Chain A
Amino acid sequence: MNALKTLAGVALALSIAIGGAQAQVLFWSTQARPVEETQKMRSEVLKTFDGQVDYQVAEDGPWLTRLQAELQAGSGTIGVLGGLHGDFSTVGADLVDLSGVDVGGVTLNEAYKKLGMLGTGEQKYLPWMQATFLMAANKQALQYLPAGVDLNKITYDQLIEWAKNIAEKTGSPKFGFPAGPKGLKHRFFEGFLYPSYTGSMVTKFRSAEAETAWNTFKELWQYTNPNSTNYAFMQEPLLTGEVWVAFDHVARLADAFNQKPDEFVAFPAPAGPAGRGYMPVVAGVAIPKTSPDMDKAKALIAYMLKPETQIATLKATNFFPVVDVKLPDDMPASVKAFGPAITTMTGAPDALPALLPMGLGDLGGKFNQVYVDSFERIVLGGQDVHGVLEEQAAALKALIDQAKAPCWAPDKPSEGACPVD
């Protein structure tokens, strides 16, 4: 009994002793979450910042819960926020205007800067780094490529033919797609499949072209490894050989290229009848209203945009710079493979960029769910395409109307809420 009392006393004393203010900026981020990337962010990217940084990552749920708690309480410890475009749209009203931040002489990507205004008159976040999605293939798969197909100009129909060929010749389906709970499948439907077939993301959601798109994807699904519903990161099944051809976010393919640089090739996303739809992904940095030390936080944001920091960030996370900068030669294998493929994709004559959803506020998650539900019902559940699209379109329309969000690319600009035909 006495031992227990002593223990309690000691533990209490210690718990009070721990804590105390540290003069460092807390960088609260949803990016660079894989442990190795977190480690590199701390030891390589943020080391030379003049003033201490505590780089802490959290999954989206805790990240947002913590931020909302600080905003509600009216005070907090978070100095700078790092997150994707979609992470910020929820809390836009509580972010500090960054238009006055002195970023030195760097030239920022204008389109991304505009995204960062979240449809308001203020610079809610500044772009921090960018990425996109690509295709990757195991070199063993190349022998099954149908005659006359150029990987750099591949179409969805050719991809299906190729996947079919692999499945028939090797005896099991080897196309892979990140349809797991943590996979980024919704971005594929929003930014790749829909634009490629309908030239639109929202307006033509239930059009005849959209039905074609889903039917095409259903066809591809026959030659897709059924385990895809468990994949979050395609680099793992690529490395195990469960999958030979895959679509995913560059940061989620990088490990395969870095571990076995000679076994994989990267190439652009396929094209459909309406063009080669692709979606850039933007991560940004922002300052919440409750940030304890504004000047230091702004200094950290300026530091993140310096060319040398941007290059260090690319090495650490496989996210590309958002400022004009010449890349040195000593890049990891993944960056060397992705760079040319991205250039080919974005520079293709039929390239059709689809932007991240804008002006949806905290309805971004529900917007993604419309596409995910369509996929689960049509492709996994085998429900009637037309009927599902009718129902999901009603849900989509309700969301867009509630947010009063005007159209964004590739949809044509609209007066008022973006129409769902």
Chain B
Amino acid sequence: MHGKALPYLLLMPATLFLCVFFLYPFALVAFEAFTRDGGFTLDNFRTMTGNWRFPVAFWNTILLATIVVPIQLVMALLMATVVSRLEAGRGAALYIFAIPLGISDLAAGLIWLAIFDQSGFLNTLLSNLGLVDRPVMFLGYQSKLTIFVAVVLAEIWRATAIMMVILVAGMGLIPREYHEAAEVFGASPWKRFVKITLPLLRPSLQTAIILRVILAFEVFAVVAALGGTNLPVLMGETYNWQFSLQDRNVAAAFALLILAISVGLTLFFMRVLRVPKEARI
């Protein structure tokens, strides 16, 4: 065939593109993280970790990702499975499940604000049902727990579709014969799911989880809409240092931290969800 050059030829366009539009500006920004007033220093990282909001933002981000991603994974699998077993209305269900794909995090934040707001739909519902006599404050600074729950719900609503579509595409590639064979041997639906679908879905699962985890660490717009500054997250702090505080060096340090966490977790998931040799990325 073409020998050894072919894969490199195929990778060339994407690589060149990323070098010009990502690596070059990234190098400039990363350089800023390690310098201040022209000299090399680690002060920016010290400023970052020394700020009183840093630990809160750090743990909030981690906690959000830890709670949101697993729930999303289960929901995405459920959606994909349900769609694949439907006999009528498949297209409609798939379309409905995919809708949040097209909705920006800004709009999602707005939507859920309208629900959880003090004079919002949830309070209206509760007072119509006679469960509360006056509007409950879900997003006040004292009720950090309800803010957190609201953010989790909004994130699940917004970003499950991405995983769902990846998994649906993957499931479509599993040959139907496997399932039919298993059915002939009397395997229950659950057993078929565990023994056939999940192992064969591995590449798609890996992709879906890695992408979602990376995005989970960039969560910002929804948190800002629902929690304001009551729920600091790393991305919000990055924006704050870059634009309100006008300190590009510390902002760059924050960005590198987000990058480091994402890359670390990505490598971890690649380990855990190792794909068979011939299909390894």
Do A and B touch each other in the complex, judged by CB within 8 A?
yes
Residues of A within 8 A of B (CB): 60-61, 64, 90, 171-172, 179-181, 225-227, 229-230, 240-242, 362-366, 368-369, 373, 376-377, 380
Query: Are A377 and B52 closer than 8 Å at their CB atoms?
Result: yes
Asked whether, in the complex, the Cβ of B228 is within 8 Å of the Cβ of A230, the reply is: yes
Query: Which of B118, B137, B228, B243 is A64 in contact with, Cβ under 8 Å?
Result: B243
On whether the beta carbons of B247 and A227 are closer than 8 Å, the reply is: no
Cβ contact of A376, chosen from B227, B229, B242, B243, cutoff 8 A = B229
Identify the closest chain B residue to A172 (Cβ): B134
Q: Bound complex: CA of A365 vs CA of B239, how far in Å?
A: 12
Q: In the complex, which residues of chain A have a beta carbon less than 8 angstroms from the beta carbon of B135?
A: 242
Q: Is the CB of A242 within 8 A of B118?
A: yes
Q: Which residues of B contact A230 (CB under 8 A)?
A: 139-140, 227-228, 230
Taken together as a complex, chains A and B put the C-alpha atoms of A180 and B242 apart, in Å, by: 19
Most buried by A among B137, B139, B227: B137
Interface range on chain B: under 10, 10 to 19, 20 to 34, or 35 or more? 20 to 34
Q: Known: A171-B134, A181-B224, A227-B137. Contact between A369 and B229, CB under 8 A?
A: no
Q: Is B245 engaged at the interface, CB distance under 8 Å to the other chain?
A: yes
- B137–A365 CB distance below 8 A: no
B246 contacts the other chain (CB 8 A): yes
- Residues of chain B having any CB pair with chain A under 8 Å: 52, 118-119, 134-135, 137, 139-143, 224, 227-230, 239, 242-247
21 A-B pairs with C-beta separation under 8 A: A60-B243, A64-B246, A90-B246, A171-B134, A181-B229, A225-B137, A226-B140, A226-B142, A227-B139, A229-B228, A241-B119, A242-B118, A242-B119, A242-B135, A362-B246, A364-B246, A365-B247, A366-B245, A376-B229, A380-B141, A380-B230
Count of chain A to chain B residue pairs whose CB atoms are closer than 8 Å in the complex = 62
Contacts of A373 in B (CB 8 A): 52
Residues in B whose Cβ lies below 8 Å from that of A368: 244
Name A's interface SS. Answer: helix
Contacts of B143 in A (CB 8 A): 226
A61 contacts B141, C-beta separation under 8 Å: no
The CA-CA distance from A102 to B187 in the complex, in Å, is: 88
List, in ascending order, chain B residues with CB within 8 A of A64's CB.
243, 246
Q: How far does the Cβ of B84 sit from chain A's closest Cβ, in whole Å?
A: 28
* CB neighbours of A181 from chain B (8 A): 224, 228-229
What residues of A have a CB within 8 angstroms of the CB of B228 in the complex?
179-181, 229-230
Q: What separation, in Å, do the CA atoms of A258 and B27 have in the docked complex?
A: 51
CB-CB < 8 A to A240: which residues of B? 118-119
With A181-B229, A240-B119 given, is the CB distance from A226 to B141 under 8 Å? yes
* A365 adjacent to B244 (CB under 8 Å): yes
Select from chain B the residue with minimum beta-carbon distance to A377: B52
Q: How far is the CB of B21 from chain A (nearest CB, A)?
A: 15
List of A residues within 8 angstroms of B246 by Cβ: 64, 90, 362-366
Q: For the complex, what is the distance from the CA of A99 to the CA of B140, rounded to whole Å? A: 49
Among A61, A172, A227, A369, chain B packs the most CB atoms within 10 A around the CB of: A227
For residue B244, which residues in chain A have a CB less than 8 angstroms away from its CB?
A: 60, 365, 368-369
Q: How far is the CA of A146 from the CA of B52 in the complex (A)?
A: 40
| Nearest CB in chain B: distance from A234 CB, A | 14
Distance to closest chain B CB from A238 (angstroms)? 12
Q: Which of B134, B137, B224 contacts A226 (CB 8 A)?
A: B137
A366 touching B247, Cβ below 8 Å: yes
B276 CB to closest chain A CB, in angstroms?
Answer: 31
Q: How far is the CB of A68 from chain B (nearest CB, A)?
A: 10
Across-interface contacts of B142 in A (CB, < 8 A) = 226
Residues of A within 8 A of B224 (CB): 181
- On whether the beta carbons of A369 and B243 are closer than 8 Å, the reply is no
Q: Distance (Å) between the CB of B53 and the closest chain A CB?
A: 8
Find the B residue at minimum CB distance from A60. Answer: B243
Question: Which residues of B are found within 8 Å of A179, using beta-carbon distances?
Answer: 228
**A225 shortest CB reach to chain B, Å:** 8
Q: Give the contacting residue for B243; candidates A61, A225, A366; CB below 8 A.
A: A61
For the complex of A and B, list the 6 residue pairs with the smallest distance between their C-beta atoms, beginning with the closest. A226-B140, A61-B243, A229-B141, A362-B246, A365-B245, A365-B244
Looking at the assembled complex, report how far the CB atom of A65 sits from the nearest CB atom of chain B, in whole angstroms.
Answer: 8
**Known A60-B244, A226-B137, A376-B229; 8 more pairs at CB < 8 Å:** A90-B246, A179-B228, A230-B139, A242-B119, A365-B243, A365-B245, A366-B246, A380-B141
Complex: chain A residue closest to B230, CB-CB: A229
Residues of chain A contacted by B242 (CB below 8 angstroms): 61
Measured in the bound complex, the distance between the Cα atoms of B118 and A242 in whole Å is 8
Give A64 to B141 CA distance when docked, in angstroms: 31
Q: Which residues of B contact A363 (CB under 8 A)?
A: 246
Q: How far is the CA of A60 from the CA of B239 in the complex (A)?
A: 11
Residues of B within 8 A of A380 (CB): 141, 230
User: Could you say which residues of chain B place their CB within 8 Å of the CB of A180?
Assistant: 228-229
